[in-house]
Structure 1
Amino acid sequence: MASSSRPPPPGVTQRPVRRYSPESGLAPPESDAVALEEPLDIRVSGDTVALTMRMPGADRFLVTGFLFSEGLLHSADDLGGLVHCGRPGEEGYGNVVEVTPAPGLVLDLERVSASRRGTLTTAACGVCGRRSVEDLIAACHPVPPGPGLAASVLARAPDVLRTRQPHFEHTGGVHAAAALDAEGHVLAAFEDVGRHNAVDKVVGALVLEHGLRSARATRPGAFQPTLLVVSGRAGFDILQKAAVARFPLVASVSAPTSLSIDLAERAGITLATFVRGGRFNVHTHPERLRVG
């Protein structure tokens, strides 16, 4: 990756590389910046719920967002404790996060074990090991109408996201996601080696810092985000998480899939893709966009 003038952030490490060009052949080894990838063991009351490959950092948001997307948590009120099992000040050292439910609450771990086959949740796939797509769709309630959004705000969203990608600047090897309000202001933004991890971090931050609640626990006047923007393609896993978090709009710089479009239509989400250079495609529910 091309060098950056700014110092690398945590989550970037160095590995040797030899660069080839037709003019000079294979160059001598040099140090190259790459994204750090390590496993994270997510445990609830001592039981492992998932093992995911991620870029260390914002682990409490990642874990909260993951459990929220799985339907195990419905608000921050469901959390009794969330402890990173590592050295103080060195997030990622122990690569284990222990979650304790709120007093008197028992989290339904069968929701995960019944729909997964115990497989590793990799950095590339948020739905690996699922037995049925219906397992995921069942958790997706239709999102409320939500505020309208100016088309110009949606068109600028990837540019806003790009300003929050220091790890990509150094490595070129990470994805990013951000939550924006109706004026285009960033509510939360994170990077990760996995698309779905970046989204989980965003959702977790909204749960813990903005009071996001699931459809089951929502109260009148509760916080609702407006726009989720992602750096990669808009796959089914991204739309599923957006639906559970009640995002009325999703913007992607890349392509959709057939299932992501189907889920967006069913969940009432406005899905825009290939959002680049001030242009985009709208696949579902264009009525939310204000043009002109």
Structure 2
Amino acid sequence: MSDHLPTSRSRAVQLDSFGGPEVLGVREIPAPQAGPGQVRVRVTAAGLNPMDWIMTADADTAARFGLSLPAGFGTDYAGVVDQVGAEVTGFAPGDRVFGGALSRAVADFVVIDPAGAAANEAHHTPEGVDDRTAATFTIAGRTASAALAAVSPGPGDTVLVGGAGGGVGVFAVQLARMAGARVIGTGSAASSEFLRELGAEPVTYGDGLADRVRALAPGGVTAAIDLYGTETLHAARELGVPDSRICTIATKVDGVPAANGANAAPGALEEIARLVAAGRLRVPIAASFPVEQIHRATELQAGRHVRGKIVIDL
């Protein structure tokens, strides 16, 4: 955060109309204050996710998430507690935390109810995990955990992961490998080495996907997670994977389990953080931008070709 900014004021990314990255602006607003049961976090980093710009693209979608204008932007954050309201236990000024603040995380300060539901929460950041990394956990980590739980991979499984190099994919690939499964991940030809480094065997997406997967895994594919649309789902069906062991996150198809972060098991996020702190799971940061470059960062995110995560520094 800028050293010159008084703690009574806050920069925040806001939008006054729904649309694309061009509607986002950095505004100076009164800093929110922590009330009873709340903590205020001085945000140092905010991770971007596709849902951030999907939620704010049009009024109908925004309304489904309870958003109205003017709205903030971004959900994942990491930073340091700087105010603690009455009746709060377990948090003190100076504590490093991460969590979710639905569509208001890209700001110098966020006020959180630590006992709140998902996307209004704070968790202690483990030692050894930097704030940029912690700012990527909440949505992608929870979503990957829920998707893995839906197909329950284990030793002997071969899992096809569609969109394996994206923000959720980097978590899903590594978690599936930790569970003992073989992972085949779809991506562009240019992402092959990146996917190998994550532990996936790369296969290019597009027409003929099922044939390319069949050549890689003549013994068959037993589960699939489609993190992008339906191409991986259709390829998995063509390869004989039963619908009960296919999961989508970006679309709903009758008979196929759909997962999102809200479905994640209690403690899933803390487990992700522990795995990162222990060096067992890594989160590639594709790029970081100062908050003043929010347009550029969001355009890159919305292009859906990023390998890993994009983070805003505050």
**Normalised by the size of structure 1, how large is the TM-score?**
0.30
Q: TM-score, normalised by structure 2?
A: 0.29
